[in-house]
């Protein structure tokens, strides 16, 4: 097989991987740069778990929620794999996403693929990618997380590598904890970094989604968003909910609360006991808001 030429880099990730063993050092560097920003769909039956993964147990409830999210939105953040050989890969990061993808019935997952002993080249390629002007905030956050996970960098080391304040790096990383629908809106540029940063500061997912929908529906500015969040916080809407076992507010119930809250423009709450008996609580501030809710109920 002849050495890989530069023009062959456009043939796709499978072509890159098939030629990697016999590529020259300079061509391997080009391959690493290409792989650093390119995802491939890898069959799950070709992926093995890293035996040295320190995490041995996964929260079943959180795994079930991630499975449901993947069924609805797909895999938002690709996993990272090390290529062991033809059609053989090992997880570097993202084992929980892989498990949830299998539970969701996926036969293949999006993944970044690393070559053996490519860490220094990978770090340079990822830092170079961050300098691109067309990356959205979630893509930047994923790249920062990859640098920390795959190149063993702390927040402080990462901030030095990319020339950003540590607080800036932390703000980007926090975006990856936002619900998938909010991350997707950021990727679609429906939300600015300012909106996303404000939402990431909230600790209650239910309230985050209420604020998120208000931003989109009303076209709120960043300042108006911050004011809305302060209002939600002062009303107690952002407090973390009690455990589902104590008040019946399962993730499904919380989603229903979100939809109703958005519909009535009020913080609707569902209260249920262990037997499923309960009530809907729709608060109102004055006669006008009371009549608005009545109008909506009559219309429905």
Q: Which of 201, 221, 239 is the last residue of a domain?
A: 239
Q: Look at residue 77 and tell me if it is in a domain.
A: no
Number of domains in the chain: 3
Q: Looking at the structure, do residues 220 and 246 belong to the same domain, yes or no?
A: no
Q: Per residue of the chain (300 residues), give pLDDT as tens.
A: 333 343 333 345 655 565 555 555 556 566 666 666 678 899 999 999 877 555 556 778 888 888 988 998 889 888 888 888 888 888 877 888 999 999 999 999 999 887 756 666 667 667 777 776 678 899 889 888 888 887 888 888 888 888 888 888 889 999 998 988 899 899 888 999 999 999 998 888 888 898 999 999 899 999 999 999 988 877 765 454 443 433 445 656 766 776 677 667 677 778 777 666 788 888 776 676 677 777 777 765
Does 58 map to a domain?
no
Whether 159 is in a domain gets the answer yes
Domain span at residue 200 reads 190-239
108 counts as catalytic: no
The total of other beta-carbon atoms located within 10 Å of residue 121's CB is: 20
pTM of the entire predicted model: 0.53
Give the three-state DSSP class for 50.
Answer: coil
Residue 100 burial (CB count, 10 A):
24
Nearest-angstrom CA–CA distance, 144 and 114: 16
Examine residue 162 and state whether it is found in any structural domain, yes or no: yes
**Does residue 152 sit within a domain?**
yes
Confirm whether 15 is domain-assigned: no
- Contacts of residue 230, defined as CB under 8 A and 6 or more positions apart, other chains included, come to none
Residue listed under structure tokens 């607080």: 167
Question: Rounded distance, CA 249 to CA 276, Å?
Answer: 10
DSSP secondary structure string, 137-196? HHHHHHHHHHHHHHHT--HHHHHHHHT--HHHHHHHHHGGGS-HHHHHHHHTTSS-HHHH
Helix crossing, 137-151 with 155-162: angle to 10°? 120
Q: How many CB atoms lie within 10 A of CB 264?
A: 18
* Rounded Cα distance, 50 and 89, in Å: 10
Q: Which of 95, 108, 226, 233 is catalytic?
A: 95
Among the listed residues 239, 240, 238, the one whose alpha carbon sits nearest the alpha carbon of residue 228: 238
Is residue 20 in a domain? no
Q: Note whether 234 and 251 are same-domain residues.
A: no
Q: Identify whether residues 209 and 260 lie together within a single domain.
A: no
Contact between 81 and 42 under an 8 Å Cβ cutoff? The reply is yes
What is the chain's alpha carbon radius of gyration, rounded to the nearest angstrom? Answer: 23
Q: Are residues 197 and 226 in the same domain?
A: yes
CATH number at residue 128: 1.10.10.2830
Let me know whether 133 and 149 are in one domain. Answer: yes
Residue with tokens 């990978």: 122
């Amino acid at each position: 097989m002849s050495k890989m030429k530069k023009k062959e880099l456009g043939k796709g990730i499978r072509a890159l991987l098939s030629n990697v063993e016999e590529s020259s050092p300079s061509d391997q560097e080009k391959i690493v740069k290409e792989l650093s920003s390119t995802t491939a769909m890898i069959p799950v039956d070709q992926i093995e778990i890293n035996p040295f993964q320190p995490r041995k147990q996964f929260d079943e409830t959180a795994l079930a929620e991630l499975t449901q999210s993947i069924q609805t939105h797909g895999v938002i953040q690709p996993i990272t794999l090390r290529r062991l050989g033809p059609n053989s890969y090992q997880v570097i990061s993202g084992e929980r996403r892989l498990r949830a993808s299998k539970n969701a019935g996926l036969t293949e997952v999006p993944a970044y693929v690393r070559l053996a002993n490519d860490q220094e080249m990978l770090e340079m390629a990822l830092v170079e990618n961050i300098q691109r002007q067309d990356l959205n905030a979630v893509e930047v956050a994923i790249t920062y997380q990859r640098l920390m996970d795959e190149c063993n960098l702390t927040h402080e080391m990462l901030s030095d590598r990319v020339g950003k304040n540590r607080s800036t790096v932390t703000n980007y990383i926090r975006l990856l904890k936002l619900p998938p629908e909010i991350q997707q809106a950021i990727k679609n540029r429906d939300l600015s970094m300012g909106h996303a940063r404000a939402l990431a500061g909230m600790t209650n997912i239910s309230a985050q989604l209420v604020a998120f929908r208000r931003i989109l529906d009303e076209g709120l500015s960043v300042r108006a968003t911050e004011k809305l969040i302060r209002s939600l916080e002062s009303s107690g809407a952002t407090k973390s909910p009690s455990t589902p076992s104590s008040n019946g507010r399962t993730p499904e119930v919380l989603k229903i609360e979100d939809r109703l809250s958005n519909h009535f423009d009020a913080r609707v709450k569902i209260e249920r006991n262990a037997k499923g008996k309960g009530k809907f609580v729709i608060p109102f501030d004055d006669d006008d808001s009371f009549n608005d809710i009545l109008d909506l109920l009559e219309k429905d």
